[in-house]
Amino acid sequence: MFEIRNKSFAISPESTIHARRVHWNLTPPLLYEEVVRRGEAMIASHGPLVIYTGKCTGRSPLDKFFVEEPSSKEHVWWQENKPFEAARFEQLKQRILEYYQQKEVYVQDCYGGADAQYRFPARIVTDTAWGSLFAYNMFRHARLDSPRDFAPEFTVLTACGFEAEPAIDGTRSDVVVAIHLGQKLALIAGTRYGGEIKKTVFTVLNYLYPLMGVLPMHCSANIGANGDSAIFFGLSGTGKTTLSADPRRKLIGDDEHGWSDNGIFNFEGGCYAKVIRLSAQDEPQIFAMTQRFGTVLENVVIDPETREIDLDDASITENTRASYLLSEIENHEPTGMGGHPKNIIFLTADAFGVLPPLAKLTPEQAMYQFLSGYTAKVAGTERRIKEPQATFSTCFGGPFMVHHPMVYAQLLGEKIQRHQAQCWLVNTGWTGGAYGEGRRMPISHTRAMVDAVLNGSLRDVPYAADPVFGLAVPQQCPGVPDVVLNPRGTWADTAAYDAQARRLADMFCENFAQFADRVPEAVRAAGPLQA
């Protein structure tokens, strides 16, 4: 890697960045020096950087737009993706380029996609040094002799210190994420949350890869000693990162992957793990990453004198995060690739306490669960939430799906059938009652269930159909008490369970109605049983 301190460079034939200074492809030690010089972050006692993202402690999905332009217009699912005028985009781009003129900017040339056949070159430009370290951690590095050897297929311009003006820029607020697929350019302004950079690249890949017959997936993945790959779908808080970080299996990646005719491959070179109340005992690999040089910790509370971090303190946000290199995980898969998955696990954290903790799915049920993308929010994660709220995020990544959901679901169904993958639902949520009455499923039980799925020990156990959700529930699982496997039996009030289960089933059906005219009858029939 290297550093060039020039003052301008082209991002397209029509646009050039002019800046006070440009720092190109700095390594972590150099970026640390820049962070300290600029006073951007604190260095914690064991070496990670601690930064605070201010008003934005998470993504701003309502402020994300796609430019309505000829090359992509017919492919974009406009029901969920908001349009942005091309003229407004040009004006906003010029305003950001003018902002850069008085700033130092940092550039990282990198790749999305471990598979060389589908590798996607991207250039990430930031107005902070820590943002460049975040990009260095999250994406695969372009090992170059000269920056002129790198030809980006997409450029992301990030301006944390620039605030959009709705009256001028046509935005909803002073935060904006605007993507122009035709120009291969994205603008991120008004937010310091690193996840916007990561998810913007993921969004672009979610547009491009289906056009190549590749399924982009919001999932983690690992691989066993015998080469058996597994993928884990799940929304935030369901255990996707935790359960895939298994010391007995190699981690391919924790969040974003593609499934091509070659197998699965990680989009990234790093991990972006949620670390609130992280346990050194239950999640040792991730915990270790919060104690090392090069990690970027977002919104983690730190003692101002000792510089010790407190992972249990959620006073800033529940959404505390760690960005670190995947290569720092001891048992990572260095190629970032694996064969076609043998097992596909859909994770949910059901706060209603009624879904079985483990169930085997038919291919049709897998497509139903994939399109539904269910989990539940609980009190404390967002203001004004007093009781569990069902959350349905299409394809377990609704905000990042550019095409209609059936484009992704059909790719998934075809690949499941072609490669004979076995599909499972694992509920990491509540047992013995809903949130507030029952308790969270012990992680030791969940790990035992996942182990049983991956090692094949559920092959010959008896199964029973769940009377409400129609799922095949194993009646035995090594390391898990039999009573835990059937949620109704864990409730003291079975009538209350029946009412709660029916309530959630109706929510599933109501949500799925939006897909009814596009899915095969067998998939429509794979949801909860009608009352």
Q: Is 266 left (phi over 0), alpha (psi -120 to 50) or beta?
A: beta
Q: Which residues of 359-386 are buried (b: 16+ CB within 10 A; e: fewer)?
A: bbbbbbbbbbbbbbbbbbbbeebeeeee
From 15, 27, 236, 457, active-site residue:
236
**Size of the chain, expressed as the number of residues it contains:** 531
From 240, 250, 342, 377, active-site residue:
240
From 64, 198, 321, 342, active-site residue:
321
241 is an active site residue: yes
236 is an active site residue: yes
The residues with which 112 forms a beta bridge, in sequence order, are 120
Other CB atoms closer than 10 Å to residue 228's CB: what's the count?
18
Q: Give the tokens for residue 65.
A: 């737009």
Backbone angles phi and psi of 251, in degrees to 5: -85, 120
Backbone angles phi and psi of 427, in degrees to 5: -100, 110
Distance between CA atoms of residues 475 and 461, nearest Å = 7
From 128, 158, 241, 372, active-site residue:
241
From 23, 59, 249, 377, active-site residue:
59
45 is an active site residue: no
- 3-state SS of the chain: helix, strand, coil percent to 5? 30, 25, 45
Q: For strand 343-348 and strand 422-427, is the pairing parallel, antiparallel, or unpaired? A: parallel
H runs (alpha helix) in 181-239: 195-208
Q: Is 470 left (phi over 0), alpha (psi -120 to 50) or beta?
A: left
199 is an active site residue: yes
Other CB atoms closer than 10 Å to residue 469's CB: what's the count?
20
From 63, 127, 246, 255, active-site residue:
255
Residue 487 and residue 431 in contact, taking contact as beta carbons nearer than 8 Å? yes
Residue 33 and residue 11 in contact, taking contact as beta carbons nearer than 8 Å? no
Distance between CA atoms of residues 63 and 386, nearest Å = 26
From 23, 123, 199, 249, active-site residue:
199
255 is an active site residue: yes
Identify the sign of the CA torsion 489, 491, 495, 496: negative
Residue with tokens 């604190």, as numbered in its chain: 42
CA-to-CA dists, residue 421 to 128, 169, 322, angstroms: 43, 47, 32
Q: Give the tokens for residue 170.
A: 């046509």
| Contacting residues for 98 by C-beta, under 8 A, at least 6 apart | none
- Please tell me whether residue 437 adopts helix, strand or coil conformation: coil
82 is an active site residue: no
CA 192 to the chain's CA centroid: 18
46 is an active site residue: no
The residues with which 250 forms a beta bridge, in sequence order, are 223
The candidate with the shortest Cα–Cα distance to 40, out of 110, 106, 120, 124, is: 106
Q: What is the CA radius of gyration of the chain?
A: 23
5 is an active site residue: no
Other CB atoms closer than 10 Å to residue 514's CB: what's the count?
13
How many helices, marked H, and strands, marked E, lie in the chain? Answer: 12, 33
From 23, 192, 218, 332, active-site residue:
218
Residue 32 and residue 111 in contact, taking contact as beta carbons nearer than 8 Å? no
Q: Give the tokens for residue 489.
A: 């039996």
Other CB atoms closer than 10 Å to residue 263's CB: what's the count?
18
Q: Which residues are catalytic?
A: 59, 199, 218, 236, 240-241, 255, 321
